[in-house]
Each structure stands twice: as C-alpha cells, then as structure tokens.
C-alpha cells in the first residue's frame, strides 16, 4: 500500500509570497495528482502529472519519479488561494491521498 506524506500540514503566509508544498510517496505510481479543497466545498483537480513539470497560471507542479517526490508551488500568492491542498498517488485503481496542507494567505 502506498504511503503518501505531505508537508507542511499547516502553512500561513502573507499575500505575494512564494508557496511550496511537498509530497512524497513510497511506491511507484502511474500519476501524481494535486487537488484543492475549499472549506465546505468540493475537491477540484489541479494537476495530474507522471513526469517533469506542469504550469497553470500561478500554479506549478513538479515531480521527481526517482525520488518519489512532488512539489506544488504557488507564485504571487493571494488570499483566494487559501484552501487545503491534497496530493494523491495514483495506482492501477484508486488514489491514495495525503492528509492535506491547510494553506492560509493573509492580506
């Protein structure tokens, strides 16, 4: 069974700061997912990547398959980025989720 660890668990930063959230997993995967969950809201898929790097707006996700590690970066962070960010390791069937990183961006 895959073990997925995220760090930090909680992160509070000022508006404009560069944010990095880390994720490591124990077993080889087919894809790594980054998800966003707002309080009381549903889960939105941000990225799915199996190698290299992806960018969407101010969000960047990278993965190192050899080291079994992925990072999610947010540039020029904004209060509306405040949410729980979850990484999930995709295998042959469902996803194994990390516990999430609770991000608060203060104005």
Partner 1 sequence: GAGVSQTPSNKVTEKGKYVELRCDPISGHTALYWYRQSLGQGPEFLIYFQGTGAADDSGLPNDRFFAVRPEGSVSTLKIQRTERGDSAVYLCASSSGGSLNTQYFGPGTRLTVL
Entry field: residues in the chain: 107
Shortest separation between residue 64's beta carbon and partner 1, angstroms:
18
Radius of gyration, alpha carbons of the chain: 13
Are residues 13 and 106 in contact, defined by beta-carbon separation less than 8 angstroms?
A: yes
Shortest separation between residue 52's beta carbon and partner 1, angstroms:
14
Binding site for partner 1 (CB under 8 A): 4, 30-31, 33, 35, 41-45, 48, 50, 86, 88, 90-100
Q: Closer CB to partner 1, residue 7 or residue 45? A: 45
């Amino acid at each position: 069974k895959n073990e997925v660890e995220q760090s930090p668990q909680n992160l509070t930063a000022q508006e404009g700061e560069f944010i990095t959230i880390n994720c490591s997993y124990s077993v080889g995967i087919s894809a790594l997912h980054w998800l966003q969950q707002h309080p009381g809201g549903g889960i939105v898929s941000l990225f799915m990547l199996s190698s290299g790097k992806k960018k969407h707006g101010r969000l960047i996700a990278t993965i190192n398959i050899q080291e079994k590690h992925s990072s999610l970066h947010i540039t020029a962070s904004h209060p509306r980025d405040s949410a729980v960010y979850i990484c999930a390791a995709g295998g042959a069937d469902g996803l194994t989720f990390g516990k999430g990183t609770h991000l608060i961006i203060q104005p």
